[in-house]
Amino acid sequence: MVEWCLPQDIDLEGVEFKSMASGSHKIQSDFIYFRKGPFFGLACFANMPVESELERGARMKSVGILSPSYTLLYRYMHFLENQVRHQLETPGHYSHLAAFYEDKKGVLHAGPGRGGSLRPVYWLPSIHRYMYPEMKFFGEQILILWKFALLRKRILIFSPPPVGVVCYRVYCCCCLANVSLPGIGGTIPESKPFFYVNVADIESLEVEVSYVACTTEKIFEEKRELYDVYVDNQNVKTHHDHLQPLLKINSADREKYRRLNEQRQMLLYSQELEEDYGRCEEDLFVLFFLEQNNRIFQTLLEVSASQDKTLTAEHARGMGLDPQGDRSFLMDLLEAYGIDVMLVIDNSCCP
pLDDT score, position 348: 54
Rg over alpha carbons for the chain, rounded to the nearest Å, is 22
Q: Is 333 helix (H, G, I), strand (E, B) or coil?
A: helix
Cα–chain center distance at 238: 18
Other beta carbons within 10 angstroms of residue 97's beta carbon come to 19
DSSP string, 296-310: HHHHHHHHHHSSS-E
DSSP letter, residue 32? E
Give the C-alpha distances (Å, rounded to integers) separating 275 from 39, 128, 265, 287, 325.
40, 18, 14, 21, 41
- What does the domain layout of the chain look like in residue ranges? 15-104, 120-298
The Cα 129–Cα 280 span in angstroms is 9
pLDDT score, position 121: 38
Contacts with 36 (C-beta within 8 Å, 6 or more apart), sequence order: 12, 14, 15, 18, 66
pLDDT score, position 45: 95
pLDDT score, position 220: 96
- Does domain 120-298 fall into CATH 3.30.1360.10? no
First to last CA, the chain: 64
pLDDT score, position 113: 38
Q: Which of 285, 221, 223 is nearest to 257 (CA)?
A: 285
Q: How many CA atoms lie within 13 A of 102 on its CB side?
A: 6
Q: What is the mean pLDDT of each run of 10 residues along the chain (351 residues)?
A: 91 92 88 93 91 78 92 89 94 94 76 39 44 72 96 96 91 89 81 91 93 95 97 94 96 96 86 64 85 96 95 96 96 94 72 42
Q: Which of 333, 313, 335, 332 is nearest to 324 (CA)?
A: 313
The Cα 276–Cα 49 span in angstroms is 45
